[in-house]
Chains A and B, each alone.
Chain A
C-alpha cells in the first residue's frame, strides 16, 4: 500500500532559522507531490507542487521543495522562517494506479516559530 512518512512531528525554531521538513513516500511509479499548509483553525492551502520537470520547485511565501526520485523524497525547505509560518505542514502524494486522483497524506508536522 502507498504511504507517506513525515519524519518530524513537532519542530520548534526561532525566527530567521532555516527549515527543512522531511517527506518520504512509498511508490515506484509516476507521482504528483504536494505540500499543504494549515494555519491554526484554517483550511489546507497549497504551498507548492511537483508534477514533472525541474525537481526543485518553488512555492509561495519563500518555500521550496526538492524531489529526489532515487530517495523517494520531497523535502520542504525555507531559508529563514518567520513567526507567521507557525502552522501544520502536510506532505501529500497522488500516485493512485486506479487513476482516482486521491491524495495520501503524511501525518503532518507541527511547526512552531518563536519570535
Chain B
C-alpha cells in the first residue's frame, strides 16, 4: 500500500487551463504538505494543513488553492495555468506539525507540464 499517493502522476495541459492534483495519505497523519520542485530540482514548500487547518501559505500566486476535505486528503487546484507552473509537485505528510521527532513522508510526485 502506498502511504502517500498522488494523482495524476503525469499531466500535460495547455496554458490557461484549470487543473487539480489529488493527494491522499493512509498513515493516519495529522499534517499534510504541498512542495514544488522546479526545473533546477530546488524544493520549496507551498502549503501545509494540520487537521484541515491551513498553517503554512508561502508566497504562492493565488491561482493555487489547496483544499483539505479531511485530514487524510489535501488537493491542489491550479487556475489559469502558466508555462512557469511546469514543475513536479510533491505531496507529503507527517504525524504532527512542528519538531518533536517529526518525519515527513513524500508522495511519488506529479509531473505537470504546461504547453
A interface with B by C-beta (< 8 Å): 30-32, 34, 36, 38, 42-46, 49, 51-52, 88, 90, 92, 94-96, 99-103, 105, 107-108
Contact = CB atoms under 8 A, between A and B. Distances in A.
16 contacts: A30-B99, A36-B106, A45-B106, A49-B103, A51-B101, A94-B104, A96-B98, A99-B97, A100-B56, A100-B98, A101-B33, A101-B50, A101-B96, A101-B98, A101-B102, A103-B35
Interface string B34-59: 01000011111100101000011000
A46 B108 CA distance: 13
B76 to A, nearest CB: 16
Contacts of A90: 43
Contacts, number: 72
Contact of B42 (A49, A102, A105): A105
Contacts of A94: 99, 102, 104
Interface residues of B, number: 28
Contact of A100 (B42, B97, B105, B109): B97
Contacts of B43: 44, 90, 92, 103, 105, 108
Nearest to A49: B103
Interface string B86-103: 000010001011110111
B108 A103 contact: no
A81 to B, nearest CB: 20
Given A101-B94, A105-B42, A42 B108 contact: yes
Contacts of B31: 101
A100 B90 contact: no
A30 B41 CA distance: 27
Contacts of A96: 98-99
A44 B102 contact: no
Given A44-B90, A103-B43, A107-B42, 19 more contacts: A30-B99, A32-B99, A36-B106, A38-B41, A43-B107, A51-B101, A52-B101, A88-B41, A90-B43, A92-B43, A96-B99, A99-B99, A100-B98, A101-B94, A101-B96, A101-B99, A101-B102, A103-B45, A107-B41
